[in-house]
Chain A
Amino acid sequence: MGRLLIAPALIINMLIMLGPALFTVVLAFYRWDGASTPVFVGFDNFVSLLGDRAFWSALQNNLLWTAIFLTVPVAIALVAGTLLLTVRKGTMLFQLIFFTPIIIATVVWAKIWQLMIYSPVSGIVNLANDAGIPLRDPLSMPQTALLGVAIVDIWRWWGFLAVIFFGALRQVPTERVEAARLDGAGFFQLAWYVLLPAIRPTIMLMMVLSLIWSFLVFDFVFILTGGGPARSSEVLATFAYRSAFYQGNFGIAAAAALVFGVFGLAVSVVYVRVQLKEDNP
């Protein structure tokens, strides 16, 4: 009976995810445009990637993105989560507000930021320019494009983390807090020496999740800049998508997908281990 119950979920999942994923591994060793016959090329695709400036630039952007996401939103969320402890009434309202960005579609936020904030014609940037402040659309300049995209994603993500951290912080045993207070700890010392260490497992877990999800970044880059200008905001996911669907080079796309898939998988293994340990201490 157990096998029967779990079968549908397993079958669907293997059909859509595992099967095609295995095919991607195979595809990485072929040259194929999706229409004519595939040609086996061995490691050529990988060699080609290694020599492709655009690929390295995308990989670099992913690493940069991950570094940003491991730190900035986590830090903001910790501060916010800790500060929420000081609020007596209205924490629910704050939580709701902080949580809202994550439930709304990426495409909607991307368009709002692109058109209402960043745009030098219709956005806040325009308003600033009219007032004499020389702001520019970060998405239009190669040096700042990735940063511009990151700001939007950070903005969307940190609230979610804050709510999680707040939830964890609330569970810190009050005795510890009282003890520290009796020792004369001020708020900041309290936070730094007692609260944060107490929720270390949660922080670690959220950092691992941020790490994993940062490698998956696609929507915002795709919609806001398409990887441009001049591939300056390209990430591996958009690189692979473009190679497959706009350049008709499925072999390269598969190879690129494998590269960041491997990264993600390695981190996933860590994540899985941590989770399983929690289940079976």
Chain B
Amino acid sequence: MVQDKWAVRLGLGVLCFAAFCSLFPIVLLLLNSLKSAREIIISPLAWPMEFRWDNFARAWQDARFDKAIVNSLIIVVLTVFAVCTTASAAAYVLARRLIKRWQLATIYFLVGTTAPIQLFLFPLYLAYSKLGLINNPFGVALIYTAIFSPVAIMLLRTFFIAIPIEVEEAAEIDGANAWQKFTLVALPIAWPGVLTVALIVAMNTWNEFVIAATFLQTAERLTVIGAFFSLSGRYVTDWGEVMAAALIVVIPIVTLFIFFQRQFIEGMAGGAVKG
């Protein structure tokens, strides 16, 4: 696209600089998770003098990651399941305009994609308190389902719209009702979309902060994010350990990202653009 070699070189240089900026904190994370606190003060940028693998052992123990990971997984599985089922159903309804007020419902969910948590956080917390749902992973999964569904619905809606109506009409001629059209025809075709949604919801649930920090309070119930946050507030000067803990939190998502790059990028970028 560009002939001018000079411009290409400059452009590449700028891009490399930008990439460096994006990667720099990650490099800091990796390097310093293997250093002792004292070494971090002296040489934060250098290669570790000695590899302190014990940072990870201590982080694991002090943050009680064994429990935290289980907590996070439970909530992730519950949320992903709940979102994928309810959101795909809702998306199908909106895509095929199966209810009279489909436009209103679409607007409702669209607005829901951008609603600030504080708008409903306080009464929600108070209600949960009265119902004894604080420190309850099911309760938290319910909140996540509500929060992450609108985006999922909008995303899946475009997937369903993309399915040619003829396919479903053909099925209808064969005697399929709405439920069968949805489960036996549309869903199987749209499964890449459901996979994408599952991945994105899993990531957002794993990473989520405000709800996790507010609704899960005792050490038994913390998610990995809560455990990490708590650890970083306690071991204020053991930076090697904190970085090791951060790495433990990050690795699962990064791994998922590496294997499912296309889904993540298309889902998140495409979802934002197509709405």
Contacts and interface: CB of A to CB of B under 8 A. Distances in A.
Asked if chains A and B are in direct contact (CB within 8 A), the reply is yes
Interface of A: 1-3, 5-6, 8-10, 12-13, 15-21, 23-24, 27, 34, 76, 79-80, 83-87, 94-109, 111-113, 115-117, 121-124, 126-127, 155, 159-160, 162-164, 167-168, 177, 186-188, 202, 205-206, 209, 212-213, 215-216, 218-219, 222-223, 236-237, 240-241, 244-245, 250, 253-254, 256-258, 260-261, 264-265, 267-269, 271-272, 275-276, 278
Contacts of B264: 99, 103
Given A27-B122, A215-B116, A6 B250 contact: no
23 contacts: A5-B92, A5-B178, A6-B89, A9-B153, A16-B147, A19-B123, A24-B122, A80-B15, A83-B11, A87-B11, A87-B12, A94-B19, A103-B254, A104-B207, A115-B232, A122-B41, A123-B44, A216-B117, A218-B118, A253-B118, A257-B122, A261-B116, A276-B107
B189 interface: no
A36 to B, nearest CB: 13
Give chain A's interface secondary structure class: helix
A264 B22 contact: no
Interface stretch (B61-69, B138-146, B163-171): B138-146
A219 B211 CA distance: 11
B48 interface: no
Given A20-B120, A24-B123, A86-B7, A13 B112 contact: yes
B37 to A, nearest CB: 7
Contacts of A278: 275
Interface string B245-274: 010011001100100010011001110110
B4 to A, nearest CB: 6
A223 B229 contact: yes
Contacts of B150: 13
Cβ-closest 10 pairs across A and B: A2-B98, A16-B146, A20-B120, A23-B123, A9-B90, A105-B207, A1-B178, A20-B123, A9-B86, A5-B89
Interface in B9-30: 11-12, 14-15, 18-19, 21-23, 25-26, 28-29
A205 B23 CA distance: 27
Contacts of B119: 17, 20-21, 24, 257-258, 261
A3 B253 CA distance: 36
Interface of B: 1-2, 4, 7-8, 11-12, 14-15, 18-19, 21-23, 25-26, 28-29, 32, 37, 40-41, 44-45, 82, 85-87, 89-90, 92-94, 96, 98-99, 103, 105-112, 114-127, 129, 142-143, 145-147, 149-150, 153, 177-179, 182, 203, 206-210, 214, 225, 228-229, 232, 237, 239, 242-243, 246, 249-250, 253-254, 257, 261, 264-265, 268-270, 272-273, 275
B18 A108 contact: no
B25 A113 contact: yes
Given A2-B96, A187-B4, A261-B118, 11 more contacts: A13-B112, A13-B149, A24-B119, A34-B126, A80-B14, A83-B14, A122-B40, A122-B239, A206-B272, A216-B116, A257-B122
